[in-house]
Chains A and B, each alone.
Chain A
Amino acid sequence: MSAKGDMFYAWTKDAGIKGECGGAVISILKYMLTEKVVDVVLTVRKGVDIYDAQPAFITDPADLDACAGSLHCGTLLLPKLIKKYLDGAKDKKVAITCKGCDAKAMYELGKRNQINMDNVVMIGVNCGGSVSPQVARKMIREKYEVDPDKVFKEEIDKGQFIIEYIDENGEHKEKGIKIDNLEAEGLGRRPNCQRCETKIPRQCDLACGNWGVIGPKAGKATFVEVCSDKGASVLDGAINSGILEVCAPEPKGLEIRGKVENVMIKMGKKAQAKQFAELGEGTDRLNKLMNITSRCIKCYGCIENCPICYCVECSTKKPHLVKPGVTPPDFMFHMIRFAHIADSCINCGQCQELCPMDIPNSLYMHAQQVELEKMFGHKPGYDMELPVLAFAEEADERARLNATGSDMIFENVFGHEE
């Protein structure tokens, strides 16, 4: 019997699973689907090539085999798909694989009653960051001088982005370049991944990865940390069903895992300091922000994909706040977003990644979140605490505000100062 806080090396007993490092993640998912612990698995699968990560909704356990392996060019965020296509897991049991940003998005959607967390099992996967597919192809072509179509595997390890490819003589080759060097030239991981501090997603029920797997099991097992009672029962279930085997981790491995995580968190903090400094301060920062957001075409892509945005009645669509039919929209459009959600920004990067006009939305949003956290102590994506401005039931809250007869939002929220 495992318990919250336990750690294991785990590997599959299923010959069909060709997992990268022991195949524990796929095995656990397969167990849950086969034994009907969940109705559907939401994960990522490879599309046309390694640069094409696609969301996969899987109900047939056999289809899981094709989802094995990590895709570092996968920049998807999955949780909002539970809200959009699985009715927020209201009556369906869902297992989902989560990078750090996915895990935090789950919590933010969960605490706003957009996802029924009771029906969800979160399988966390360690993440050192992801690279946008076209950036990856560009840097492989230009910096590695390799045809990106010849690359069959990529890996982020020991501070390097490593590719494995077949050269012109048909030989299997490997090449790595330091991530720092790539990122100094605007390549490498997405800017939000560079700033990220959530490397081992302990918000999940289980946190899995290959960091810290050493000794005879190196490359053949997955490191699994049990992060909740639900996680313990799922892991026990998988072991009892015979699909998974575990052993105690090497003590030295634990140490190494901790070190990797700490180094990465430090890198994240350093990247935050650097990127935020470039934004300038005060009026300078505001001017930069006004200038760059004037590229907006008001496609609502940022709102559509933001895991915090869920309002049915979005203030950016109120004609008295943002004049309809005008592009670029008034600066108020962006002000509304900053004011409403910056306190809960989990730095998933979607608003920037998907912006058709390449506005670095996530950078500004995250910069604000960090300041707001200092002021109000709300750390988004780590627990189920609601921030000051999040109202779980929008309709009720709007009715309450309307009933006050005042349009002074500050007064309505914080009350009158005596």
Chain B
Amino acid sequence: MEIKYVSTICPYCGTGCGVNLVVKDGEVVNSAALQRSVVSRGKLCNRGLNCGVEQYKSRIITPVINGEAADYDKALKELEGLKKYSGNDLAVITSTRLTNEANYCILKLGKEVLNAGIVGTVYSGSAVKGNAKQEDIANAGAALIFGDCMKKLPLTGNNLFNVKDKGGKILFAGQKCYTSVQADEAVFENEDGVLNIPDSFIEVLKNAENPIVVYSANDKYTEDAKKAAESVNAKTAVLYETNNGRGCAEMGFSPVFDAIKENPPKAMLIFAENPELDKDIYEPLIETFNKIEFLAVVACNESSLTDIANVLIPMQLFSEYEGTFTNWEGRVQKVYAAIAAHEGIKTPSEIVADISAGAVKYDDNSAIFADIAKNVPAFSELKYEDASYAEGVFIKEV
């Protein structure tokens, strides 16, 4: 009998809470708090508390070609079909829940090897960036929050109670929700779904020390939030709902949901998100996917997407390989392998190396990270080893 705790980062929201995966005889059986985490101070929400077991449902372990089980090499050969397409006929889509290293390899594969016209994420990640950190929220004299941020990112949201405890005001704009209940004052959307931020809110922010505006990247309130923040010169905490949304945003990924829906490409290669994490983000696009000539999917768990793929290649889960995630603050933290992957199942970057026939191939994560540091301004001067520090390391504000 062997039971061990492996410290890593929660795979859900963009807060980047520390979590221990409880591994019994080579299997993840539970998750537990990581008291050492500077981000979460040993606290977890219901998702973190369940991240140990939820991930392992409906895993994919065999490659599939047009509904038939196949071996890896055959599936890889089949992917050569992607070469027939390029430019706007080809889209390479990634998941903002994969590591920085995996995403960087996928970016290079899409842009430099496959010459895909569309390289992006389904819905998360965006060019919107904030300039605040967790402590800026905790130290704010007043906060204006758009949407249910405290519920979506609980261990970020709890910093807002500090504002309240010090006598500062929490202002809310959006729809009725957990955060609106916590707020001192709230305004709601009108019947047309329009938000009108009252002047009194702006006054509160103006008169407060270190005011802050908190909102989600890619939310419908983004423009309202930006405007409010600019009008009082407040810091902005732009929250990502996925664990590596910020990392993907820094690398230049942006959501392509609308673009794909409007003009479906002829072929697609998708490194899929694990639907057990949240929801099946591919479901709203199924009709579009059905129109595509060639759909290649790399995934760890079954989803509506994997059901219709022409070629399906299994990949490892976040708990099976090392790498780094960048939380919404820009804190790069290391994730560790807790268990061994099923035999023959590779990491996303190894699969990229195979698809690109060695064109995008690195010795290890450290080498990938060095390349990220060279080419992605926010990561410049950072080293892979820096992220091993128990409290991670911040990227640069660029």
Contact = CB atoms under 8 A, between A and B. Distances in A.
Q: Which size class do A's interface residues fall under?
A: 35 or more
A51 B390 CA distance: 10
B154 interface: yes
A47 B36 contact: yes
B33 interface: yes
B152 to A, nearest CB: 11
Interface string A271-301: 0000000000000000000000011011111
A51 B42 CA distance: 12
A371 interface: no
Interface string B36-54: 1010111111100100000
A40 B49 contact: no
11 contacts: A40-B1, A47-B7, A52-B35, A55-B32, A59-B1, A85-B24, A137-B38, A294-B182, A297-B151, A297-B178, A301-B44
A134 B7 contact: no
Contacts of A327: 151, 178
Interface residues of B, number: 33
Given A299-B49, A354-B44, A328 B181 contact: yes
Given A49-B390, A295-B182, A299-B154, A354 B42 contact: yes
Q: Which 9 A-B pairs have the closest CB atoms?
A: A52-B36, A57-B3, A299-B46, A356-B43, A134-B41, A48-B390, A327-B178, A299-B45, A356-B154
Determine chain B's interface SS by DSSP, over half rule: mixed
Nearest to A84: B30
A137 B35 CA distance: 12
Contact of A54 (B5, B49, B154): B5
A48 B154 contact: no
Given A85-B3, A133-B35, A297-B151, A354 B29 contact: no
B188 interface: no
Contacts of B390: 48-49, 51-52
Contacts of B22: 85
B42 A132 contact: yes
Contacts of B32: 55
A295 B151 CA distance: 10
A53 B35 CA distance: 8
Nearest to B6: A54
A174 interface: no
Given A57-B3, A327-B151, A300 B46 contact: yes
Contacts of B33: 301, 354
A304 interface: yes
A58 to B, nearest CB: 9
B216 to A, nearest CB: 17
A75 B43 contact: no
Q: Max chain A CB contacts within 10 Å: which of B46, B151, B182?
A: B46
Contacts of A74: 35
Contacts of A132: 35, 41-42
A245 interface: no
A357 interface: yes
A132 B40 CA distance: 12
A76 B154 contact: no
A260 interface: no
A265 interface: no
Contact of A51 (B4, B7, B36, B154): B36
Interface string A106-144: 000000000000000000000000001110010000000
Interface of B: 1-5, 7, 20, 22, 24, 29-30, 32-33, 35-36, 38, 40-46, 49, 151, 154-155, 158, 161, 178, 181-182, 390
Contacts of B44: 299, 301, 354, 356
Nearest to B159: A358
A75 B42 contact: yes
B325 to A, nearest CB: 17
A73 B181 CA distance: 35
Interface string A303-318: 0100000000000000
Contacts of A52: 7, 35-36, 390
Given A299-B45, A301-B46, A354-B44, 20 more contacts: A40-B1, A48-B7, A49-B390, A73-B35, A85-B22, A85-B29, A132-B35, A133-B41, A134-B42, A297-B46, A299-B44, A299-B154, A301-B43, A301-B44, A304-B49, A327-B178, A353-B42, A356-B44, A356-B45, A358-B158
A53 B32 CA distance: 13
A291 to B, nearest CB: 11
Interface string A49-76: 1011111010100000000000001111
Contacts of A299: 44-46, 49, 154
Contacts, number: 99
A358 B32 CA distance: 17
Nearest to B41: A134
A36 B231 CA distance: 71
A57 B4 CA distance: 7
A80 to B, nearest CB: 10
Given A51-B36, A52-B35, A76-B35, A356 B2 contact: no
Given A76-B35, A84-B30, A85-B29, A54 B7 contact: yes
A357 B158 contact: yes
Nearest to A299: B46
A75 B24 CA distance: 22
Contacts of B35: 52-53, 73-76, 132-133, 353
Contacts of B20: 54
Nearest to B34: A52
Contacts of B29: 85
A91 to B, nearest CB: 11
A355 interface: yes
Contacts of B45: 297, 299, 301, 356
Interface in A252-281: none
B41 to A, nearest CB: 5
A356 B155 contact: yes
Contacts of A133: 35-36, 41-42
A48 B3 CA distance: 18
B36 A48 contact: yes
A301 B178 contact: no
Contacts of B181: 294, 328
Nearest to B148: A327
Interface in A68-110: 73-76, 84-85, 92
A137 B154 CA distance: 23
A59 B49 contact: no
Q: Max chain B CB contacts within 10 Å: which of A54, A92, A294, A328?
A: A54
A53 B155 CA distance: 21
Contacts of A57: 1-4
Contacts of A355: 43
Q: Max chain B CB contacts within 10 Å: which of A49, A55, A75?
A: A55
Contacts of B36: 47-49, 51-52, 133
Contacts of B49: 299-301, 304
A74 to B, nearest CB: 8
Contacts of A73: 35
A200 B390 CA distance: 33
Nearest to A74: B35
